[in-house]
């Protein structure tokens, strides 16, 4: 009886670890896709997104949310990031950050 309980616990532990590993891989792939979208948005506008690749990931995630609010779910959604709305939202976000940076830069010059 003890061997059956141990076998069930081992199988359960293996199942949980595969489930958690799959969730971690999904999260990493989603962050990669968001970073790719943010990088594309950074290439599309003049200037640079702040904080390098972390800024690109943040722009991709926030842009995905913003673009989905504006145009809905359009096009493919690999790893949970809708590409077209995310790119549109990330470009809008990057342009807004660029304009805000210029406005703050002008204010500091006086």
High-pLDDT (> 90) share of the chain, %: 26
pLDDT of residue 86: 93
pLDDT at 33: 92
Residue 50, pLDDT > 90, answer no
| Model pLDDT for residues 57-104, shown as the tens digit of each residue | 898 899 999 999 999 888 888 888 899 999 999 999 888 888 887 777
Mean pLDDT of 35-39: 92
pLDDT for res 88 = 93
SS3 track for the chain: CHHHHHHHHHHHHHHHHHHHHHHHHHHHHHHHHHHHHHHHHHHHCCCCCCCHHHHHHHHHHHHHHHHHHHHCCCCCCHHHCCHHHHHHHHHHHHHHHHHHHHHHHHHHHC
| pLDDT bucket at 106, cuts 50 / 70 / 90 | low
């Amino acid at each position: 009886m003890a061997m059956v309980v141990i076998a069930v616990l081992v199988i359960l532990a293996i199942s949980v670890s595969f489930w958690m590993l799959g969730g971690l891989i999904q999260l990493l792939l989603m962050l990669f896709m968001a970073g790719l979208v943010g990088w594309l948005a950074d290439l599309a506008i003049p200037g640079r997104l702040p904080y390098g690749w972390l800024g690109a990931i943040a722009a991709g995630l926030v842009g995905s949310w913003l673009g989905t609010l504006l145009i809905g779910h359009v096009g493919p959604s690999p790893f949970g990031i809708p590409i077209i709305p995310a790119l549109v939202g990330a470009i809008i976000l990057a342009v807004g950050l660029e304009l805000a940076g210029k406005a703050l830069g002008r204010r500091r010059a006086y």
